[in-house]
Structure 1
Amino acid sequence: MRTTALVIGGGATGVGVARDLALRGVDTTLVERGALAAGTTGRSHGVLHSGARYAETDSDDAAACLAENRILRDIAPACIEETGGYFLHLDGDDPDYFERKRTACEELGMAVETLSGAAFRERVPEASPAVERALAVPDAVVSPARLVVANAHAARDAGATLHTHAPVEDIHVDGGEIDRVDVGGRLDATIRADTVVNATGPWAEECAALAGVSVPMRPTRGVMVAVPNPGVDAVLNRCRPPADGDIVVPRADEAVLGTTSVAVGDPDDFERTDAEVERTVAECAAMCPGVDAPVRRTYWGVRPLYAPDEAARGDARAISRDFALLGHRDEGAAGLYTIVGGKLTTYRRMAEATADRVCDRLGVSAACRTAERPLPGADDPAELDGLLDEFGVDAPADGR
């Protein structure tokens, strides 16, 4: 088989890259070892971040979140539930931290509102009496499953070819250039490509090693706990430095509680502890007592954290949530690119940056159009839901 660009990975970033390249006229093929969204994308908590979570620690990343939040509302409204969000200051929390976050959000140009505890409980009666004040921010909830199938459908319509259950078995380099990729599973073929994109999330280090190059990762596991929704209709964030059990996400009749952050050696084989589930429920119940209820289900995701700085690897929560785009020419694998880190909210921006680099190599001058072009089914959730089984999406975040 022959293709101009081969994308490895069928999460949001991978299908986003395939869509972007195909729209620029690049002959593009995507391979995914399992089902679409089966990795980090489908196991996230599904928050469309406003940037408030990172505002006081990483203003550039926060600004990117805010910009992409606005873009996705325009191009993919059927994938988004306009819940709004709040950062909650509880009795005993650091008041200076609340002020720093509010100031940082305002400096980004974010529309925020400060509410007293009583005023907040008028909006969210299920909230704890311990909430002293709240900062309203433009968070929302996104459906990872719908977002992935919308991008996959758009990529296919633009000419891309997508293969699921097609694991990469080897990547061959010849004369310092990417040459071909052996793919097993249902495809069972060798694909020759002018350029290859490694968009495999927490598996990026393993994938890169097949080509003899290095991508130092520090993947961390996190649990999501789904309980009956006691009536919460907005994203609730604890206004403190990131810690276990600091977010409650409404999803129809469920509230998804998250999360933990524990380093893992193997993204496919890691421990899942009852203690993390119990701690997550207890911490979230401090914000909203009604979520301390029988657990309906749990699912675990692995964050694709890029950690080139050995000194930072000991504290996973200190590793940047921004993305990194790596070219491997200096390691003797020109034409191979790795996109790691980031988050679901910024998947489109990550895809654009990657497609820009690929097109530079290929001599393609077409500009990115994904920020203005609506995704398929933009205003029709039923159309997207009809595609879920066709594409075989695996997304526990959506209950699939």
Structure 2
Amino acid sequence: MRTIRSEVVVVGGGSTGAGVARDAAMRGFPTVLVDRADLGQGTTGRFHGLLHSGGRYVVSDPESATECAQENAILKRIQADACEDTGGLFVTAPVDDEAFADGFEAACRAARVPCQEIPVSEALRREPRLNPGTKRAFEVQDGSVDGWKLVWGAARSAEAYGARILTYHQVTRIEHADGQVRAVICRDLRADEEVRIECRFALNCAGPWAGRIAAMAECHGVDVVPGAGIMIAMNHRLNHEVLNRCIHPADGDIVVPAHTVSIIGTTDKKTDDPDRLSIPHDQVQQMLDAGEEMIPGFRRMRAVHAWAGARPLIRDTSVAANDTRHMRRGMSVVDHLERDGVAGLLTIGGGKLTTYRLMAERIVDEMCEQMGEERPCRTAEEPVVGSESGTLYTLGRRLHEVEQPTADPGTVDAPGGRQVVCECELLTREKLEGAMEGLKDYTLDDVRRQMRLGMGPCQGGFCASRAAGIAQQRGDVGAERATELLRMFLKNRWIGLWPILFGGQARETALDYWIYWGTLDLEHLPAPTQEVVR
């Protein structure tokens, strides 16, 4: 067994966990973050990309609305390279009752959410695809956010302050003695060895899995309710600004422009197991029908990928146990000393990705109070290390980089002489290899989360084999493992393709099938005896 000594162990590598690791490390605590998979592979990487203005919750949850508005402004400043300041509109569609819109602007003022009603003609000028029958329009400060770039930015900032980030380390138990946490025990899934991390405090930021982690410390009954929802990415950006229905929160009432696509979301159903999330065909149809209300012709447009995520909602006794749509979105910190008599353990749940920094501040504040330490939080003032570029990358910026001349053109795939591996996202070999260089024992999905490999219209049909070949050519993996990396990558892409197999996407998938299972005969290529750890 390998032993690591630290003061703080953060369990969970989503946005909250990465934010907590950054906050704790910036306050001078030796910190280790562990996650059973890659960073941002859970809820953080499975959402619609909305940087909330707060407008969505001004009526149903004003406190959360105020928090979103405040943190929206902070994130645009400290992580500008992960955020796109698109702006947003709340619109009353032709089928919507105007009663909600009548009180919307006043509710925004009460919650301190910037908002202004604008003429419908102005909304139609800014969003030409918007339903011409739109009755009301309100301007808000929504944006879009790259969840993976945000979480990796926070993690690398934490590392710059001395934190250790251990991905693919699965927690198996939390040891405590005499009412005090002593160690977090993990299994290193890639080295296949047990790791003991001795600590004073464990901060449970495991999202929908937080109840399971708490139970490993014999703190049972932490009621985190997973609220599952599906989202669909469309073939290209249909809208310039975030479009919201000006109604009580409902299914399919948001369309977010994110990178090269627009994303519609989301449903909200209680699930028993956040590891087993389905993408039902009826919910896919529900999303397409809902999109039609704001953008006529939405049903006929090409969908390129669907996915499901689970929100970590704290049980709200004011609504039914299975009514995740109407549970509060506010954050909550569970003190296990007060609740279970176990010192050195806190659990956090609820909240939004938009409020991840504030969630981190609150749980680390609580830890400091229990430790008797006075160490102020600085995360709202100091930009995240590495965010100096100041703007989220766009295809235009990547195209500009591609076209810049190289000293040694080599294989000329582009005007500047750079080899383009993924045409959809204009990902060059140089950038791909840079990501591979920074990862250990990576999968192609690990690379995808950092570089958006295979996330465009071809969904990996052309670039996946190139990336696998480059990994093998670099000497990172042998031929058999490269084949297994490719097979796993395509398998994971397929999960989000089969629910939307119609029209253009069905034709694209048929082409990909004939490339990999027809021409290349992928199923019968030699594979390693040990399965790739995702």
Does the pair score TM above 0.5? yes
The aligned runs of 1:224-373 (5 Å cut-off) are: 224-229=231-236, 231-292=238-299, 293-307=301-315, 309=317, 311-329=319-337, 330-373=339-382
- Contact 2:14 2:39 (8 Å CA) reproduced: yes
Structure 1 vs Structure 2 CA RMSD: 2.0
Distance 1:29 1:319 in 2: 32
Question: How many percent identity over aligned positions?
Answer: 36
Displacement of 1:271? 2.8
Displacement of 1:294? 2.1
Match of 1:127 in 2: 130
| 1:152 pairs with 2:152 | no
Displacement of 1:118? 2.5
Give deviations 1:176-196, integer Å, cap 9, x for gaps: 211222100246211111110
| Structure with greater strand share of residues | 1
Structure ranking higher on relative contact order (CA contacts 8 Å, 6+ apart): 1
Distance 2:237 2:324 in 1: 32
Displacement of 1:363? 2.9
Distance 1:290 1:148 in 2: 35
Give deviations 1:92-149, integer Å, cap 9, x for gaps: 3121211222111123343322123322111101011221111110000111111111
SS in 2 for 1:312: coil
Displacement of 1:395? 4.5
Displacement of 1:314? 2.9
Match of 2:212 in 1: 206
Distance 2:213 2:435 in 1: 27
Give deviations 1:151-176, integer Å, cap 9, x for gaps: 01110000101100000011122122
SS in 2 for 1:173: strand
Match of 2:63 in 1: 60
Displacement of 1:275? 1.1
- Contact 2:63 2:111 (8 Å CA) reproduced: no
Displacement of 1:252? 3.2
Give the 3 Å change call, closer, same or farther, for CA 393–6 of structure 1 in structure 2. Answer: farther
Output the amino acid matched with 1:361: Q
- Contact 2:237 2:258 (8 Å CA) reproduced: no
The structure with more radius of gyration: 2
Distance 2:90 2:348 in 1: 30
TM norm structure 2: 0.71
Match of 1:74 in 2: 77
Match of 1:4 in 2: 7
Give the 3 Å change call, closer, same or farther, for CA 31–394 of structure 1 in structure 2. Answer: farther
Give the 3 Å change call, closer, same or farther, for CA 308–227 of structure 1 in structure 2. Answer: closer
Q: Which residue of 33, 43, 48 maps to 1:45?
A: 48
The aligned runs of 1:107-126 (5 Å cut-off) are: 107-126=110-129
Distance 2:336 2:45 in 1: 28
Distance 1:60 1:397 in 2: 35
Give the 3 Å change call, closer, same or farther, for CA 157–397 of structure 1 in structure 2. Answer: closer
Give the 3 Å change call, closer, same or farther, for CA 8–394 of structure 1 in structure 2. Answer: farther
Displacement of 1:309? 2.3
Give the 3 Å change call, closer, same or farther, for CA 252–270 of structure 1 in structure 2. Answer: closer
SS in 2 for 1:167: strand
- Contact 1:37 1:394 (8 Å CA) reproduced: no
Give the stretch that moved more between structures: 295-304 or 116-125.
Answer: 116-125
Distance 1:85 1:251 in 2: 13
Output the amino acid matched with 1:315: D
Output the amino acid matched with 2:40: A
Displacement of 1:65? 0.7
Distance 1:178 1:393 in 2: 35
Displacement of 1:394? 6.6
Distance 1:81 1:265 in 2: 34
Unaligned runs of 5+ in 2: 394-430, 440-445, 456-534
**Count of residues paired in the alignment:** 398
Distance 1:341 1:211 in 2: 21
